[in-house]
Amino acid sequence: MKLYHWLSVFFLIGLLACGGGVAPVSDSTAPNATDWLVDTNFVRDGGPGKDGIPSLDFPEFITANSVTFLADSEMVVGTKINGVIRALPHKILDWHEVVNLETNGDNHAFSYCPLTGSAGLWSVPARFTNKTFGVSGLLYNSNLILYDRETDSNWPQMFNQAANGQLIGEKAVTHAVIETTWGSWKQMYPNTTLLSNNTGFSRDYEVYPYDNYLTDNTLLFALSRQDSRLHLKTRVLGVADANVNIVYPLNDFSINIQTINEVFATSEFVVVGSSQINFAIAFESRLSDGTLLTFTPVDSALPIVMQDNEGNQWNVFGEAVSGPRQGTKLKLKSDYIAFWLAWVPYHPSPTIHVF
């Protein structure tokens, strides 16, 4: 058989195998460029695919006394929902990122992104039939993008709203979470429960899945903005609104509880934190009745962390537990505790608070 005949045979086979062309084919249900509220140049496929990192859906929680797998120095994220106190350890969250919670009939989606060091708690809309969120497998500026299983819409965690899909633009209802050590959290809430490591998944929760990422000064994905003033993985409490864009590095708080009363034009808030207890949070200091409170720290009385000029004492969730305003709850001001690398793309050129 002549050479050109063989070449023709092979070319034909190749052509048929290619379906007559080499145009790329992508999943026809993937989001398209015109339907995102964030810059798609910085939305990336993280690798595992949708639900490749499995969420924990209504998992088991165990009492603090029965915990054997978590040291007091290890980090947890604490929640208080309808009076129920729970903690979720980083070492499990690093592997699952989204935990769907049900508390006395209310549903919440908890999320933690190991690449941006950010934790959040959202209410699941009551109208949803499927009341769970999952891990989309996508990242925006390295930040986890959740998806709701009701509509398949995509919600970048630190964006706090749906950025793509049927619910595009809908804002998440956020709730305070306290990121601290397990030992500190037990001091605050001795009756807490903890997310069990019996999750139903075969994962070694004693191993951090991202090598040296937690401490090194490297990125895994490109960011829309970077700022070299701080180490990329510096944990900061971020506060941002129309008047202010400021971060408070957690390691710079004093060992004892510290309060910082801030006034920027119409932005009035108090920041409270401690480097030893390893927590920080911010609340609006002007109440709905127009009263502007000023706060001083309270040590050795956890979960009470501060007292105001009226004599009210407030716990770490911004709830007045004693005084004339007992039962009042301060409005959450801070957006996230996150790595410095994560704050900058959302809020460029922030002020770094000098302690």
Partner 1 sequence: MKQATYNYRIAIAILLLLSPNAKSATCSCAGVSLTNTVNLTQFNAEQWQLSISFTQSDISDLVAGTNQINDETGRFRETDSLILGATYGINENWALSAIVSKIEHRRRNAIANQRTETSSGLGDSMLLVSYAPKKISPFNRNEWAYGLAVRIPTGENDAGKPIIFSEDLQPGQGAWGESLWLHYGHAFDQAARWQVYIDANYQVNGNNQRDYSFTNEWNLSAGVSYQLSDSWNFKAGVQYRSAVPHTRFGNNIPNTGGQWVNADIAIDYAINPATHLSLSTIQPLYRDLIGALQFTNKNSYTLSLSTLIE
Site residues (vs partner 1, CB under 8 A): 1, 3, 6-7, 10, 13-14, 17-18, 22-27, 29-33, 36, 40-41, 43-52, 54, 134, 138, 200-204, 207-211, 213, 216, 218-222
Q: Of 44 and 329, which has the nearer Cβ to partner 1?
A: 44
Q: How far is the CB of 326 from partner 1 (least distance, A)?
A: 45
Q: Of 118 and 164, which has the nearer Cβ to partner 1?
A: 164
How far apart are the C-alpha atoms of 335 and 24, rounded to whole Å?
40
DSSP 101-130: EEETTEEEEEEEETTTTEEEEEEPPTT-SS
Q: Of 210 and 355, which has the nearer Cβ to partner 1?
A: 210
Q: How far is the CB of 116 from partner 1 (least distance, A)?
A: 15
Listed in sequence order, the residues at least 6 apart from 72 whose beta carbon sits closer than 8 Å to its beta carbon are 181, 182, 183, 186
Q: How far is the CB of 120 from partner 1 (least distance, A)?
A: 21
Partnered with residue 113 across adjacent β-strands are: 118
The closest alpha carbon to 338, from 164, 156, 152, 108, belongs to: 156
> How far from 286 is each of 8, 248, 290, 308, 319, CA to CA, in Å?
80, 20, 6, 12, 14
How many alpha carbons lie under 13 Å from residue 124 in its C-beta half-sphere?
A: 27
Q: How far is the CB of 2 from partner 1 (least distance, A)?
A: 8
Give the 3-state DSSP-derived string for 272-328, with helices as H, strands as E and coil as C: EEECCCCEEEEEECECCCCCECCEEECCCCCCEEEEECCCCEEECCCEEEECCCCCC
Q: Of 60 and 72, which has the nearer Cβ to partner 1?
A: 60
Sheet-wide strand order for 118-123: 56-57, 98-103, 106-113, 118-123, 174-175
Q: How far is the CB of 292 from partner 1 (least distance, A)?
A: 46
Q: Of 122 and 147, which has the nearer Cβ to partner 1?
A: 147
Q: How far is the CB of 1 from partner 1 (least distance, A)?
A: 8
Q: How far is the CB of 122 from partner 1 (least distance, A)?
A: 20
Q: How far is the CB of 343 from partner 1 (least distance, A)?
A: 20
Query: Hey, what amino acid is at 106?
Result: D
According to DSSP, the β-strands at 118-123 and 320-322 are unpaired
Q: Of 148 and 284, which has the nearer Cβ to partner 1?
A: 148
Q: Of 46 and 78, which has the nearer Cβ to partner 1?
A: 46
Q: Of 12 and 255, which has the nearer Cβ to partner 1?
A: 12
- Cα distance from N-terminal residue to C-terminal residue, the chain: 84
